[in-house]
């Protein structure tokens, strides 16, 4: 078998994930693999692993569980494989139906690895720093007032946008909040990242896709609005006009196991986001 030691991470306090996890554990052990199983607790920022070496990390849950596990497990060279128990599951590769057949093929080495870009962020001066897999979002938290966001991309001229916020997203995160906010979709393996503004004032502001070598500096022109940074939809950090947000592509990449025929367009079709034929308009659908 291609893998020997597997870590199973389950959605927290989810009976369906627990039952499926036990079934997958027995299935893997029947092939002679060593398996350790964890429930992804909402508390804590790391998952302590007892196995001396891990070849594969299997996550059972939705994309939220997948993101949480990736943020807590600091094993950048170990690939992740997701079982989707959520609604969309862009990051998860396997569905509950036919999982044994699909997993068996992966264990035999019939898979491809998708290498994904991560963001490195730092709040200056002397603020928090870390990694983001999907996105870093600067947004207001209090009254419904606009932010005045100052942006500098590399050596380009600084510019100011008045908006509800800005999403700095990875290719993986382009199908998350950025997609809902009308931003562009990036193919997952592209070595670039993007900016998309949330409800800009008076006129549309274009989204930007920048090379992986770009360095962003973001500040607030005004201190009149309560503001926060949200990392991957899971971590909140207070932010004010005295601080600066620095973002660049991390040197680290993360790996996702995919079936050989898997692709972004095929996932869009399966999940009903893309259709081969136009959907006829009907006032009944309004």
CATH number at residue 54: 3.40.50.10330
Residues with a known catalytic role: 63
Q: Does residue 103 sit in the same domain as residue 16? A: yes
Q: Does residue 136 sit in the same domain as residue 182? A: yes
Q: Does residue 92 sit in the same domain as residue 164? A: no
Q: Does residue 220 sit in the same domain as residue 265? A: no
Range of the domain at 87: 5-111+259-285
pLDDT tens digits along 238-260? 999 999 999 999 999 999 999 99
Q: Does residue 17 sit in the same domain as residue 94? A: yes
Taken in order 131, 81, 178, 68, the sign of the CA dihedral is negative
> Other CB atoms closer than 10 Å to residue 83's CB: what's the count?
28
Tally of structural domains, the chain:
2
pLDDT tens digits along 49-81? 666 689 999 999 988 889 988 888 888 789 999
Q: Does residue 144 sit in the same domain as residue 239? A: yes
CATH of the domain at 149: 2.60.200.30
Lowest mean pLDDT segment, chosen from 11-20, 127-136, 261-270, 277-286: 277-286
Q: Does residue 97 sit in the same domain as residue 139? A: no
| Average pLDDT, integer, range 16-31 | 95
Q: Does residue 123 sit in the same domain as residue 178? A: yes
Q: Does residue 273 sit in the same domain as residue 244? A: no
Q: Does residue 41 sit in the same domain as residue 123? A: no
> pLDDT value at position 286?
46
Q: Does residue 214 sit in the same domain as residue 123? A: yes
Q: Does residue 244 sit in the same domain as residue 270? A: no
Cα–Cα distance for residue pair 41/11, rounded to 1 Å: 8
């Amino acid at each position: 078998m291609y893998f020997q030691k597997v870590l199973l991470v389950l959605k927290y306090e989810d009976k369906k994930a627990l039952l499926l996890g036990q079934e997958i554990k027995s299935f893997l052990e029947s092939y002679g693999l060593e398996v350790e199983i964890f429930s992804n607790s909402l508390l804590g920022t790391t998952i302590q692993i007892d196995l001396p070496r891990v070849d594969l990390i299997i996550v059972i849950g939705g994309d939220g569980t997948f993101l949480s596990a990736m943020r807590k497990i600091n094993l950048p060279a170990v690939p992740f494989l997701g079982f989707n128990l959520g609604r969309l599951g862009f990051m998860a590769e396997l569905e509950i139906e036919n999982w044994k057949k699909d997993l068996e093929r992966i264990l035999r080495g019939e898979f491809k690895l998708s290498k994904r870009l991560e963001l490195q962020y730092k709040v200056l001066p002397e603020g928090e720093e870390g990694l983001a897999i999907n996105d870093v979002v600067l947004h207001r938290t209090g009254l419904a007032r606009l932010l005045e966001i100052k942006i500098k991309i590399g050596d380009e001229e600084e510019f100011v946008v008045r908006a509800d916020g800005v999403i700095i997203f990875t290719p993986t995160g382009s199908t998350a909040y950025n997609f809902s906010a009308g931003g562009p979709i990036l193919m997952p393996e592209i070595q670039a990242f993007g900016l998309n503004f949330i409800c800009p004032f008076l006129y549309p502001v274009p989204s930007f896709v920048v090379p992986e070598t770009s360095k962003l500096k973001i500040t607030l022109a005004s201190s009149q609005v309560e503001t926060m940074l949200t990392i991957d939809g899971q971590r909140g950090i207070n932010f004010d006009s005295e601080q600066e947000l620095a973002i660049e592509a991390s040197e680290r990449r993360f790996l996702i196991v995919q079936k050989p025929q898997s692709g972004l367009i095929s996932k869009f079709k399966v999940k009903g986001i893309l259709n081969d034929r136009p959907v006829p308009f009907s006032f009944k659908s309004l």
